[in-house]
């Protein structure tokens, strides 16, 4: 696997939507590895996604990473590539079981956490109102109901240690962290996570990392 300063001078471009949690995951990995890059804004919700972008990502989603002409999409592939291709602290455990737990948590987050935490609770309680768009309280309620099962499962999977897969930060922390940041922007989410001691302690520690502040997307200005 390529690793080391040989990659440092090669152009690195991250294409993505400013408010996407998956773009933030990639940005968190780049920040933790201290890798410089350029950004190109792409809104996957736009009715006219640029044709040039669709040549990079035929499904029109985000993010896409281009490194010295090598184009890569799918967040899991991007985050693992960055960790392998650049120097800095490894973001994947060496122990087989810890690595499997990291992969499991990422899978749980993608399959079960993203929709209720982000698309239901955050979108309808926080994001849509900020844009002056209609929000659905019933969607928030459904998201919160699903979130209880998701958070309970993650509480059980989380290591009784500093981070989710052990004493060192891993891709699992960054993957879940981007979503918890949005979930806890809703008052109900901020309250709910306190019922899960391991997750609450983990989130407090993760929030303090410079990478979290450096990649915070903020929120759109409230429309009137």
**Model pLDDT for residues 56-113, shown as the tens digit of each residue:** 999 999 999 999 999 999 999 999 999 999 999 999 999 999 999 999 999 999 999 9
Distances (CA, A) of 76 to 29, 33, 59, 95, 216: 11, 16, 16, 19, 20
pLDDT (0 to 100) of residue 218: 86
pLDDT (0 to 100) of residue 118: 98
| 184 contacts: CB under 8 Å, gap ≥ 6 | 190, 193, 203
| The CATH number of domain 96-215 is 3.40.50.300 | no
pLDDT (0 to 100) of residue 196: 98
Q: What's the pTM value of the predicted model, to 2 decimals? A: 0.93
Beta bridge partners of 67: 12, 70
As a whole number of angstroms, the distance between CA 11 and CA 6 comes to 12
Intervals of CATH 3.40.30.10 along the chain: 5-85
Intervals of CATH 1.20.1050.10 along the chain: 96-215
User: To 5 degrees, how large is the angle CA 142–CA 202–CA 80?
Assistant: 85
**Class of the CATH-defined domain 5-85:** alpha beta
């Amino acid at each position: 696997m390529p690793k080391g300063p040989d990659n440092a001078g090669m152009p690195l471009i991250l294409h993505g939507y400013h408010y996407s949690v998956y773009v933030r995951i990639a940005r968190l990995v780049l920040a933790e590895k201290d890798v410089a890059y350029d950004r190109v804004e792409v809104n996957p919700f736009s009715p006219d996604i640029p044709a040039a972008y669709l040549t990079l990502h035929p499904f029109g989603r985000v993010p896409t990473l281009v490194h010295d002409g090598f184009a890569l999409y799918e967040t899991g592939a991007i985050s693992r590539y960055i960790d392998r291709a650049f120097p800095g602290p490894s973001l994947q455990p060496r122990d087989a079981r810890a690595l499997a737990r990291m992969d499991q948590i990422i899978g749980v987050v993608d399959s079960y956490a993203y929709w209720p935490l982000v698309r239901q609770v955050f979108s309808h309680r926080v994001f849509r109102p900020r844009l002056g768009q209609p929000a659905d309280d019933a969607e928030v309620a459904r998201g919160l109901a699903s979130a209880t099962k998701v958070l309970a499962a993650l509480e059980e999977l989380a290591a009784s240690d500093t981070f989710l897969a052990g004493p060192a930060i891993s891709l699992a922390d960054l993957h879940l962290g981007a979503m918890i940041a949005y979930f806890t922007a809703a008052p109900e989410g901020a309250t709910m996570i306190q019922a899960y001691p391991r997750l609450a302690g983990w989130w407090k520690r993760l929030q303090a990392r410079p990478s979290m502040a450096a990649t915070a997307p903020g929120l759109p200005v409230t429309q009137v």
